[in-house]
Homo-oligomer: A and B are copies of this chain.
């Protein structure tokens, strides 16, 4: 990506006080909302250049190629910026059909039924089998 394009990509974005922006990941085929994570400038640039979604892990305080330990990469199909330029939406192909470290398709698997938060999605794969002993919680 040349310098002018890079400036155009980054210039309009309102980063928060930590230099981050929230990113919603949506499956491009099923339209299911899979997760929300955060990007810094480096993660956004890497994502656009490689077409593989990179986030910034706030817990590990480092760049995080989604799928690097699980194999569940996210191939970028489209990236959108919202009206206030402070939220991104990525449409992705979810490799393996699992985005959540619990082995579920989506991270949004607790549904409020009026009384309690009910688990509303099955575990598709045992996290231990996904991560082979690697610390699972990205």
Contact = CB atoms under 8 A, between A and B. Distances in A.
A87 to B, nearest CB: 4
A111 B22 contact: no
Count this chain's copies in the assembly.
Answer: 2
Contact of A35 (B36, B82, B104): B82
A4 to B, nearest CB: 9
A89 B108 contact: yes
Taking residues whose C-beta sits less than 8 angstroms from the other chain, chain A's interface range is 35 or more
B83 A102 contact: yes
Given A79-B112, A83-B102, A117-B81, A33 B89 contact: yes
Contact of A8 (B84, B116, B120): B116
Nearest to A31: B31
Nearest to A82: B107
Nearest to A111: B80
Interface of A: 5, 8-9, 12, 22, 24, 26, 31-33, 35-36, 48, 78-85, 87, 89, 100-102, 104, 107-112, 114-117, 120
